[in-house]
Amino acid sequence: MKLRKIDHQSMPAIVFVVCFLFTCGTSVYASESDPWTYAHIPLEDSKVLVNAQLANAIQVVIDTINSAPVAELKSLGDTALEFAFFTSFRSQHIRDVTWGMFEKCIGTNNCKDWPRFERIQMYPEESVYHAARWRFIPSRFHLASIIQVCGVRMGADKLTHFFDDGFHYFNALRSKRMHLDPEDIRQLSMVFEKSYMGTRLTGIVSRADIEANLAGVQFYSDFFVGDSPMIGRDRNGRLLMLRKPDICDYVTAQYDERILPNEYTYSLMETSRARQRAQDLQNTIKLRVNHSATQAQKLRQEELSAQRKTILARRIPMTHWQSEFPKIRLVGHAAGMASQWVFDPGFRRVSNLFGFDPLKPGKLDDRIPITIRQVDSADSAE
């Protein structure tokens, strides 16, 4: 993959980075999760709820597209119809300002027309990061909820990586101008994970996040192409759902950071103190794993049920998180992110791909042409 040279058209990315951090600073953070604390608390599997929300979201967009006159639908080529679908899907169902919709609605359990999910919402001061006096963001700021999907216990941030980042990278693959392949996406994913949107804020490299990104790319690719696409069109040009989505086709055990371990980098400088802080965090994680195992054996069933009920009922203390993010740190992050954009070609490549709207589908004439499967209406999913 060749890196592009800096040009005047890409210079606004620097302005965007700085302005975004200053204007949206209380919401700019990299979500991390703690799957070790409260690991003894059982959770219901949320795959049915996730699948139902997905199927409904897809059908809503299909109905919106199909509300156009038949003559207009017939006049649209397959690529234009796919573009129209993803433009609508992106704006309605993927993210809300800074959060992915699934992470937000699962974490708050307070979204209109959404079911209630069983999730563990942890207060920052309870986490392994706070106990180990780790870096500011994960130890004092937002922690993603812990959920279980398809038998895998994971942070809800993995769904943001799946739906949000996966959508972005999928659209990058759809560009005939960029000439990207799946290996490029993996490399770009790692670059961004290690940037100021990830490791440089939190000190954590999550390979599980990257796996979720790549699975999201496959998920969106399966909407219209492949051996068994989710969506086709009939002879009148209307879209049809050929099969309902199943999140379990894409979730793997590697979403669980206990199975695919993180890397910890307390400082960009490889000093003895930084190595010691990383070791302290790993030791804290081991202690928390042992504590959860002990709790699972020691607690009586009624005690475990009472603790579970209390934790599952928690609400997110949003104002507490926002008020604890000092403005002075935003200055440092803004300057650091801008300097990384200037001096790090890999990060610049990712920044150019994201642009001003990380989920914008791009331009129609920039998309690689596709052919949507044409079917009779009787072939649609029930």
User: Residue 166 has which token pair?
Assistant: 């996966």
Largest separation between any pair of C-alpha atoms in the chain = 69
Cross-strand bridge partners of residue 99 = 96
Q: What is the pLDDT of residue 12?
A: 44
Rounded to an integer, what distance in angstroms lies between the CA atom of residue 206 and that of residue 198?
Answer: 9
Whether 335 shows a pLDDT value over 70: the answer reads no
Rounded to an integer, what distance in angstroms lies between the CA atom of residue 161 and that of residue 206?
Answer: 11
Contacts of 141 (CB under 8 A, 6+ apart): 29, 124, 321, 324, 325
Contacts of 44 (CB under 8 A, 6+ apart): 118, 148
Give pLDDT tens digits for 350-367: 666 555 354 567 788 889
Give pLDDT tens digits for 154-163: 999 999 999 9
Rg over CA atoms, the chain: 22
Whether 369 shows a pLDDT value over 80: the answer reads yes
Confidence bin at 94 (pLDDT 50/70/90):
confident
Confidence bin at 136 (pLDDT 50/70/90):
confident
User: Residue 208 has which token pair?
Assistant: 């599980």
Q: What is the pLDDT of residue 321?
A: 42
| Ramachandran angles phi, psi of 141, nearest 5° | -120, -145
Handedness of CA 6, 12, 14, 17 (dihedral sign): negative
Interval 305-318 mean pLDDT: 87
Q: What is the pLDDT of residue 95?
A: 67
Place of tokens 């216990």: 153
pTM above threshold 0.75:
yes
Cross-strand bridge partners of residue 32 = 143
Angle between helices 207-221 and 166-173 (to 10 degrees): 50
Rounded to an integer, what distance in angstroms lies between the CA atom of residue 249 and that of residue 48?
Answer: 13
Q: How far is CA 149 from CA 99, 127, 271, in A?
A: 19, 22, 39
Rounded to an integer, what distance in angstroms lies between the CA atom of residue 57 and that of residue 36?
Answer: 32
Confidence bin at 62 (pLDDT 50/70/90):
very high
Work out the angle at residue 168's Cα, subtended by the Cα atoms of residues 166 and 31, and round it to the nearest 5 degrees: 60
Segments making up each domain of the chain, as ranges: 12-364
Q: Are 288 and 37 in contact (CB under 8 A)?
A: yes
Interval 298-323 mean pLDDT: 81
Name which residue leads in pLDDT, 329 or 275: 275
Whether 333 shows a pLDDT value over 70: the answer reads no
Give pLDDT tens digits for 216-255: 999 999 999 989 999 999 999 999 999 999 999 999 999 9
Q: What is the pLDDT of residue 10?
A: 42
Rounded to an integer, what distance in angstroms lies between the CA atom of residue 9 and that of residue 24?
Answer: 24
Confidence bin at 26 (pLDDT 50/70/90):
very low
Rounded to an integer, what distance in angstroms lies between the CA atom of residue 210 and that of residue 165?
Answer: 9
Least confident of 16-20, 154-158, 170-174, 175-179: 16-20
Q: What is the pLDDT of residue 195?
A: 79
